[in-house]
Amino acid sequence: MKKTLWILFITFFLALGTCSSAEGAEGEGSVNIERCFHLGNDYYEKGEYEKALSEYNKIFQSGYESKSLYYNTANAYFKSGQLGKALVNYERAVRLAPRDSDLISNYKFARSNVASMLQIKRDIWLLRIVKAYGEKVTLNELIWFSSFIYVIIIILLFTAVLRPDAFRRILPINLALLAALILNLCVISIKVYNTGKEGVIITQQVESRYGPFDSATVFFKLHEGMKVKILDYKEGWVKVKRADGKIGWISKSDVEVI
């Protein structure tokens, strides 16, 4: 029985591996991707940032993305003085490689250039821990880790049926695994929920209004590079929430979704 379980376990993860390899496939256009990327890098090194961006954007337009591509694009935007667009791409890169030290360094450096300061309340300690954990791992890593814990729990459940005495001895381990699985699922849910619902201001200064029309009273100001939550869309306007909780409407062209 033990042997059967191990065979099932290994088969399962081998099958899952096909999902991963499928998602990372480089496809027919891989030669062009490489070429465009290196061409973009060459332009960047010559200080021709607009041309570099043009090459990088060709890869995005062909439907591919990578953390290095976002990183280099962000660098090119930063060098060309487009702080907002640089931060959008750093954010995208961070989602793919949250522990890349070069990326984090550049991201923080770019953020320090945002001309704004907001008073915000600190979260409770538990939420801070969960958020910090979520910021250090990618969505895929979280899903893989959850999947692993889930399979371990299933194996332990087999044990519970076949060897109830042995299961009782390892019950605390099982409960800890269950807690870890729940935590992971919560973080996954938050990350998936936030996908497409965060944006970065890409114009130098934006006046956020009480309503989605030009004559509406200005409520607060947003500066280039500020991260906002996107709540709603309406005819060329976006309803955004600033980090301090203030909500207003800005033009769709002033914000880029991460």
- Write out the residues near another protein by the rule CB under 8 A: 8, 12, 15-16, 18-20, 22-27, 30, 33-34, 37, 41, 44-45, 60, 63-69, 71-72, 75-76, 78-79, 96, 102, 105-106, 108-114, 116-122, 139-140, 143-144, 147, 150-151, 154, 157-158, 161-162, 188, 192
- Return all residues near 161 (Cβ < 8 A) that are at least 6 apart: none
3-state secondary structure of 186: helix
In the bound state with another protein, the residue whose beta carbon lies nearer, of 102 and 232, is: 102
Which residue type is seen at 60?
F
CB of 213 to another protein, least distance (A): 27
CB of 60 to another protein, least distance (A): 7
In the bound state with another protein, the residue whose beta carbon lies nearer, of 15 and 169, is: 15
In the bound state with another protein, the residue whose beta carbon lies nearer, of 130 and 139, is: 139
226, 114 in Cβ contact below 8 A?
yes
CB of 74 to another protein, least distance (A): 9
CB of 31 to another protein, least distance (A): 12
Kindly state the helix (H) or strand (E) to which residue 173 belongs, with its residue range.
helix 171-194
In the bound state with another protein, the residue whose beta carbon lies nearer, of 8 and 178, is: 8
CA distance 87 to 81: 11
236, 207 in Cβ contact below 8 A?
no
107, 90 in Cβ contact below 8 A?
yes
CA distance 70 to 56: 9
CB of 229 to another protein, least distance (A): 16
Long-range pairs for 166-175: beta carbons < 8 A, 24 or more residues apart? none
In the bound state with another protein, the residue whose beta carbon lies nearer, of 164 and 236, is: 164
